[in-house]
Structure 1
Amino acid sequence: MIQWLRRHAIDLGPLRSSRSFSVIFWGRLVSIAGIGVLSTAIPLQVYSLTGSSVQVALVATVMGLAGFAGALGGGLLADRLDRRRLILAARSAAIVGFILLAVNAFLAEPHLAAFHIAAAVDGLAGGISATALSAAVPGTIASEELPAASALMAVSLDLGMVFTPALGGLLYSVIGPGWLYIAVVLVSVASVALLWRLPSLHPETQAPEGPEVPAWQAGFSGALRHTVAQAWEDTREGIGYVARDRIIGPILLLGFIQLLCASPYVLIPEFAERQLGLGPEAAGLLYSAPAAGALLASLTSGWTGRVRSVGAVLLVVLCAASLGVLALGLTSSLPLALAAMALTGAGDVLAEIFRYAIIARRTPDRLLGRVSAVWSAQGTVGDTLGGPLLSLLAKVLGPGGAMVAGGAMAFVVSLGVAISGRQLRELQAHPSELESVDAQR
């Protein structure tokens, strides 16, 4: 039993071997705790003020668009600046947005515009921070520890999203939104304090052509002085690398399709009411089930670091996640629906573990920020378009039928890539990395 646990339990090696990674892990976990609370509190307050779900959606759209811009801009900056300073600056800017929410909540008549401003600030800051953090992680650990590090980063997200949305709803009703936002500010300050302990995380850069740039022009001011043409060239280089690479390109395409077709969250309330015949409590359980499945998969992900045929296993995992959504649409039983959602969450997080490890290994460090930005951007666009797509399908097919159609489409595309994408299907982990993981255990 002990031997089985050692082989399958999540690998904590990166937390022991790298102080920098440990700081990133704990700083991110604390930050997500605050974000999880906000994910419930902001919609509750906006709906309380307006009585309109459309207004709730508009605030979410502003945050999504700002996050998209932040991811792309953050990718450029993360490949030119000290990633530690970039993370700290972005996280500090997000705190300003949280303070605005707190001040607005204590007004006799809170302003709706404050939510849009805060969403823009926090979305932009979050996009920059997430991209810089993703680009920074590979430089803090050995290459063979990337699957374990990816699993640990997933755990930090899953832990936050399992408990804190429910906590946000409870605190909202007990202490009110103003004090809740103040609590989020304090938690965010604690996260910045943890991340302050990071060392400098400069990207690897190629020597620039042309005359040497004076020292006083380096750093943030130098990055801000970049011309639009140069910024576009930098962005195009990152996008071109993704498009040309026969492994990374298909991986990002598969992630986009998964979010576009097989992300059923916008249909959960309607599904619970119309197909299960149940109320908000069932919808809440269905929202929590993917995070619970993802957490279980992350905690038992020790085997991922020993997988040799990483490309084939990634494709199997993506197909399983698509089938989970399809199965959800077919059932009218709450226990089976919860199991299907948990399967979807487990498949999503395992796919994330393999995707991150593959992308980090294949991407030169000088491009990691821009490739991470493309990854974040495709996720944001897929999620933004996927909700309306499934909603339109639900008008014709019903919520369950839309889930079945979306899951089937994602499965067919994943299967098509598995059949036609020989390089991805046959991708192998380097033998020396597998030997190193076994030696550490």
Structure 2
Amino acid sequence: MSVRDHLIDISPLRDSRDFRAIFIARVVSLVGLGMATVALSDQVYDLTESTFQVAVAGTVMSITVLLGSLAGGVMADRMDRRGIIVFARGAAALAFAGLAVNAFQPEPRLWAILVCIAWDGLATGVSVTALMAVAPTLVRPDQLPAAGALISLTGEIGSIGAPLLGGVLLALWGPGPVYTLAAVTTMITTFLISRIRSLPPGTGDDDDDEAEEDSGSLLVAFTYAWRNKVVGGLLSLGGVTALFTMPVVLFPEMVDKQFNDSEVILGLLYTAPAIGSVLVSAGSGWLTRAARPGKVLLTAAFTGGIATIGFGVSGLLGLGLVGHLALAMVMLAVAGAAGTVYEILEYALIQHNTPDRLRGRIVSVSTTQDTAGDLIGDVEAALVAKWFSPAGAAIVNGVICALAAVVVAVAVPALREATLPAGWDDDDDEAEAEAEEGDAGTDPSADAPVPAKSPRPAPTG
């Protein structure tokens, strides 16, 4: 396997104009959102001088994103998905504009901030869910892992670069201009998505008798997940990992007690998982060729749990400050890398094993798990840290994640043996190009997107 085979596969960007537009739109949107998040936390604290109020603002955003995700899943399976995304991103732009207007006032109001972020949370939840349901219809089935890797990479770009840029602009201009810039980037996103083709919801495969009985409710999606062992196994494991993932909420206390309250070390701990994630995303080409992606996903979940245990244990080994920091960062980077492998393959396997008519609702359930997991998981980690210590909480969470991966691997053989459509190699591309020279059909490498109807999932018992 050549070096090129290990690099991130950008064929979805090359082959599909619409996926390319969505990719660019997502990058622009995440940059604006990341900058606004920094400004929001700083402004709320400046107005209230209360960390609790900052947490309240974050909770309002998380709850409204959760509600928007559930609503967006149902809407995405009933309405034109492009229209949903355009409307939701336009609504988000209005929320940022409201934040900017309030920030420019002589006395900004906290209630206005909370109203705007609640509005933005609902809009973001709807648009993210619809966007995730759209992507598989814009690429070939064998490109799903590559599409997942590219989507994951946009998130890492946003999480690393946007907050730094937001902090610099906040120091130079204050929150008002930052919110204004976030509104502008969101409008750019809205324009880019408005240029793609219409994306009506799927109606199911021709031989899918259950499509005729689909009432469009979330209950139908849960019923499907229960029957399809691959999707059900992924959602079950995803629920556990969302609750007991790496407890970043404990970083400040760990730094205070174990690293002499160094802000620089706190920044390094927050950065380490993102470094691992970016490295995996950039070298994710091999994931598109994994013979048993289900096994790789389960291994990644287990590895993430072990790395979390290692992070907790790192402060108990008497390695000294430098040795402790080095081991902690390595474990965090491994956890971030394992999490990205899991995320990429989870995305591909769920999309491949879910009929298009159910994608919006299944994606909404998965997104809701992540959002609710962040909220409840922070509380769980804080409580365990009080009973034991921050290191003890990390060890407990890691043990639970590793055990969950083992249990699911044993209990759900369909997930363990799950596969994805084989990728196209260079010879396939050349053969297809030669065959199409005399064919009036559509060139799959042209800017026009290739319709890619995901195959019906095989019965899994």
- So what's the TM-score if we normalise by structure 2? 0.87
CA deviation vs aligned residue, 1:231-267 (integer Å, no higher than 9, x gap): 9862211121122211111111211211211231111
Counterpart of 2:125 in structure 1 is 127
CA deviation vs aligned residue, 1:32-54 (integer Å, no higher than 9, x gap): 00111122211111111111111
CA distance, structure 2, for counterparts of residue 438 and residue 53 of structure 1: 59
CA distance, structure 2, for counterparts of residue 288 and residue 73 of structure 1: 33
CA distance, structure 1, for counterparts of residue 259 and residue 406 of structure 2: 30
Give the structure with the larger helix fraction: 1
Q: Is the 8 A contact 2:70 2:368 kept in 1?
A: yes
What is the deviation of 1:403?
0.6
Query: Structure 2 residue aligned with 1:373, among 364, 369, 376?
Result: 364
Counterpart of 1:21 in structure 2 is 19
Query: Structure 2 residue aligned with 1:269, among 222, 227, 252?
Result: 252
Counterpart of 2:28 in structure 1 is 30
CA distance, structure 2, for counterparts of residue 233 and residue 159 of structure 1: 35
What is the deviation of 1:391?
0.3
SS in 1 for 2:60: helix
Q: Is the 8 A contact 2:78 2:216 kept in 1?
A: no
Q: Is the 8 A contact 1:263 1:387 kept in 2?
A: no
Structure 1 residue 243 and structure 2 residue 241: aligned?
A: no
Equivalent position amino acid for 1:400 in 2: A
CA deviation vs aligned residue, 1:288-339 (integer Å, no higher than 9, x gap): 2212211110000000110111111110011111112111111232222222
Counterpart of 1:164 in structure 2 is 162
Equivalent position amino acid for 2:340 in 1: V
CA distance, structure 2, for counterparts of residue 417 and residue 123 of structure 1: 33
Residues 321-336 of structure 1 mapped to structure 2, 5 A cutoff: 321-332=304-315, 333-336=324-327
Residues 70-81 of structure 1 mapped to structure 2, 5 A cutoff: 70-81=68-79
Counterpart of 1:225 in structure 2 is none
CA distance, structure 2, for counterparts of residue 195 and residue 44 of structure 1: 31
Equivalent position amino acid for 2:93 in 1: I
Q: Is the 8 A contact 1:256 1:382 kept in 2?
A: yes
Residues 308-347 of structure 1 mapped to structure 2, 5 A cutoff: 308-332=291-315, 333-347=324-338
What is the deviation of 1:12?
0.6
- Any unmatched runs of 5+ in structure 2? 206-212, 316-323, 431-461
What is the deviation of 1:276?
2.5
What is the deviation of 1:107?
1.4
Q: Is the 8 A contact 1:144 1:436 kept in 2?
A: no
CA distance, structure 1, for counterparts of residue 331 and residue 429 of structure 2: 35
Equivalent position amino acid for 2:95 in 1: G
Q: Is the 8 A contact 2:240 2:401 kept in 1?
A: yes
Percentage of matched positions with identical amino acids: 38
Counterpart of 1:214 in structure 2 is none
CA deviation vs aligned residue, 1:388-410 (integer Å, no higher than 9, x gap): 00001111211111111111111
What is the deviation of 1:275?
2.0
Equivalent position amino acid for 1:45 in 2: Q
Structure 1 residue 307 and structure 2 residue 290: aligned?
A: yes
Counterpart of 1:390 in structure 2 is 381
Q: Is the 8 A contact 2:309 2:398 kept in 1?
A: yes
What is the deviation of 1:439?
4.0
Equivalent position amino acid for 1:9 in 2: L
CA distance, structure 1, for counterparts of residue 39 and residue 355 of structure 2: 40
Structure 1 residue 196 and structure 2 residue 194: aligned?
A: yes
Shifted more, 31-40 versus 126-135: the winner is: 31-40
**Count of equivalent residues:** 415
Structure 1 residue 402 and structure 2 residue 400: aligned?
A: no
Q: Is the 8 A contact 2:77 2:216 kept in 1?
A: no
CA distance, structure 2, for counterparts of residue 32 and residue 361 of structure 1: 26
SS in 2 for 1:247: helix
Shifted more, 86-95 versus 252-261: the winner is: 252-261
CA deviation vs aligned residue, 1:103-131 (integer Å, no higher than 9, x gap): 11111111111121112111100100000
Counterpart of 2:55 in structure 1 is 57
Shifted more, 362-371 versus 287-296: the winner is: 287-296
Structure 1 residue 187 and structure 2 residue 185: aligned?
A: yes
CA distance, structure 2, for counterparts of residue 342 and residue 321 of structure 1: 10
- So what's the TM-score if we normalise by structure 1? 0.91
